C-alpha cells in the first residue's frame, strides 16, 4: 500500500467525525490518494519525518518503547540536534549523522525502522493493548503531527512548543495524565486530546447558559483549552491549575490565539484566594483527582465552590467513574448518591446527563450535571438526583452498553 492510503486508513480508525481539522486532513489525503499533487505530498512528508525523528519531544511522544529499550536514544538525538547550531565542522558532522539517521529510520518500507514500526502499530494496534493510554497517546499525537505538517502549517510553531512542554512535563511532573499526552484537546488548535473541547462543550450544551458579561472560574483547568473556548462566550475566565507545565501550555495557546480574557494561575484550589465571585464555575472531573493532589474532602470542596459562586449562579459538574464500587477512592464516583446528599444542600440540581467518552479505550463515560447555587445553605434539602436512574436512563439509549 502506498503512503497516502495508509495514512488515510490510520486517520479513519479513530479520527473524530466531529473535528473539522480531521475532515480537512482526510480531504487532503484523499487528493493525494488519487495521485494528484504528489510532489507537494513528498515535500510535506519529508518535513514531517525529519521533525518526528530529530526532535526529542516527538521521539519521546511517538516512540516511548524505543526510548525505554535504548536509553541512549534521546540523549544522542538531543546532542546531535544541539550540535547542528554550532558554526563549525562538528555541526556539519552532526547534520550528516542526522540525515543518515532520518533516511534509515524514516523509510516506511522497512518494518524495522522507527517510522515503519510506528505506522504498523497505529494501523493495526489495538487501543486496549498495553499500559493505559499507551496506544492512544501515540495515535492522537501522530494525528496532531499530521495536521500541522500535512495541512495546517500555521499550527506548527504552537504544536512544537506544546509537545516540547509535554516532554518537560513527562520528565519533571510525577503522575501526568494520559501517558503524558494532552488530557484536553481542542479542535481550534488541531490538537485531538483525550477530551476534545468543542465536542465536549457541545455535548454538554453549556454555552447557551453563559452570557457575555459573565465571570467564570475553571477549577483544575488543565491545559486551559476549555477555559479559552468558554472565554469566547464570556467576559472573563479564571483558569486555576496546579500543574505549571499545563498552565504554560494554556498560556502558549492564549498567546497564539491573541486571547486576553483568560487569566491563568498556578495554584492549589484549596489555598488559592480569589479576588471576585463568579457567575459560573466549572468543576469537571476535579472533586477528587486520581493524581491525588486534591486534598479537600467532598463537603469542604463543595462548600468552597458555594463560596465562589453568586446566588443563582451555575455550577457545571462532571463526575469521575460512576460505575465504580463507591468506596470513596479517588476517581470512584459509585457513591454519587451520597455525594449528592451533600451537594444538593448547597446547590439545586437542574439537569443531569450521561455522556460517551471521546476515545475508544481507557476513558469512561461520564455524568454531567448542571446545578444552581442556592441563596443559602439548606440543611434539610432532599436529594432529587438518583445515580441508578441516571444510569438506567443512559443504558436505555440506543447503542449504549
Ligand X SMILES: C[S@@+](CC[C@H](N)C(=O)[O-])C[C@H]1O[C@@H](n2cnc3c(N)ncnc32)[C@H](O)[C@@H]1O
Q: Name the site residues for ligand X (rule: CB under 6 A).
A: 183-184, 195, 220, 222, 226, 240-243, 246, 268-270, 284-286, 289, 291, 293-294, 318
The residue among 50 and 291 lying less far from ligand X, judged by its C-beta, is: 291
Question: How long a stretch of residues is the chain?
Answer: 401
Which phi and psi (to 5°) does residue 354 adopt?
-90, 145
72 grid coordinates: 541512549
Residue facing ligand X at closest CB distance:
220
Q: Measured from the CB atom, is 55 or 215 closer to ligand X?
A: 215
Cβ-based burial of 304 (10 A; exposed 0-12, middle 13-18, buried ≥19): middle
CB of 220 to ligand X, least distance (A): 3
| Residue 209 or 266 with smaller CB distance to ligand X | 266
Please, what's the b/e burial string for 340-353 (b: 16 or more CB within 10 A of its CB; e: otherwise)? bebbbbbbbbeebe
* Residues 360, 289 contacting (CB under 8 angstroms): no
| Cell triple for 61 | 511522544
Handedness of CA 156, 157, 159, 160 (dihedral sign): positive
Q: Which residue, 63 or 358, has its beta carbon nearer to ligand X?
A: 358
* Three-class DSSP category at 202: helix
For ligand X, the closer CB: 10 or 246 = 246
CA–CA–CA angle 330, 371, 188 (5° rounding): 75
Question: Quick one: 120 or 270, whose CB is closer to ligand X?
Answer: 270
Q: Nearest 5°: phi and psi at 315?
A: -115, 120
Q: Cβ 242 to ligand X, closest distance in Å?
A: 4
Amino acid at each position: 500500500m502506498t503512503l497516502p492510503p495508509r495514512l488515510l486508513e490510520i486517520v479513519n480508525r479513530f479520527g473524530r467525525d466531529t473535528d473539522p481539522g480531521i475532515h480537512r486532513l482526510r480531504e487532503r489525503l484523499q487528493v493525494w490518494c488519487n495521485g494528484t499533487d504528489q510532489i507537494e505530498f513528498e515535500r510535506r512528508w519529508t518535513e514531517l519525518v525529519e521533525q518526528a525523528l530529530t526532535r526529542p519531544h516527538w521521539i519521546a511522544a511517538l516512540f516511548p518503547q524505543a526510548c525505554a529499550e535504548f536509553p541512549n536514544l534521546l540523549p544522542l538525538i538531543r546532542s546531535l540536534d544541539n550540535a547542528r547550531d554550532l558554526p563549525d565542522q562538528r555541526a556539519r558532522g552532526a547534520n550528516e549523522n542526522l540525515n543518515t539517521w532520518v533516511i534509515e529510520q524514516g523509510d516506511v518500507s522497512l518494518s524495522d525502522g522507527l517510522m515503519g514500526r510506528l505506522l504498523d502499530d497505529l494501523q493495526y494496534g489495538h487501543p486496549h493493548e498495553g499500559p493505559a493510554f499507551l496506544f492512544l497517546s501515540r495515535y492522537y499525537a501522530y494525528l496532531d503531527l499530521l495536521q500541522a505538517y500535512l495541512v495546517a502549517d500555521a499550527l506548527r510553531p504552537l504544536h512544537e512548543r506544546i509537545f516540547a512542554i509535554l516532554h518537560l512535563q513527562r520528565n519533571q511532573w510525577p503522575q501526568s495524565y494520559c501517558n503524558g499526552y494532552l488530557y484536553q484537546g481542542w479542535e481550534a488548535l488541531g490538537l485531538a486530546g483525550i477530551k476534545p473541547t468543542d465536542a465536549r462543550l457541545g455535548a454538554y450544551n453549556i454555552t447557551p447558559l453563559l452570557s457575555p458579561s459573565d465571570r467564570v472560574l475553571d477549577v483544575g483547568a488543565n491545559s486551559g483549552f476549555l477555559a479559552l473556548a468558554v472565554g469566547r462566550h464570556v467576559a472573563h475566565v479564571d483558569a486555576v491549575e496546579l500543574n505549571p507545565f499545563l498552565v504554560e501550555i494554556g498560556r502558549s495557546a492564549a498567546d497564539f490565539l491573541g486571547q486576553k480574557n483568560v487569566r491563568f494561575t498556578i495554584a492549589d484550589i484549596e489555598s488559592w484566594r480569589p479576588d471576585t465571585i463568579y457567575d459560573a464555575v466549572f468543576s469537571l472531573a476535579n472533586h477528587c483527582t486520581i493524581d491525588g493532589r486534591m486534598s479537600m474532602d467532598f463537603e469542604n470542596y463543595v462548600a468552597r465552590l458555594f463560596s465562589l459562586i453568586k446566588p443563582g449562579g451555575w455550577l457545571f459538574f462532571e463526575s469521575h467513574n460512576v460505575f465504580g464500587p463507591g468506596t470513596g477512592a479517588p476517581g470512584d464516583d459509585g457513591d454519587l448518591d451520597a455525594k449528592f446528599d451533600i451537594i444538593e444542600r448547597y446547590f439545586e440540581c437542574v439537569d443531569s446527563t450521561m455522556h460517551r467518552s471521546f476515545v475508544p479505550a481507557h476513558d469512561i463515560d461520564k455524568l454531567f450535571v448542571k446545578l444552581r447555587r442556592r441563596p443559602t445553605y439548606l440543611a434539610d434539602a432532599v436529594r432529587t438526583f438518583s445515580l441508578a436512574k441516571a444510569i438506567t436512563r443512559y443504558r436505555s439509549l440506543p447503542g449504549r452498553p
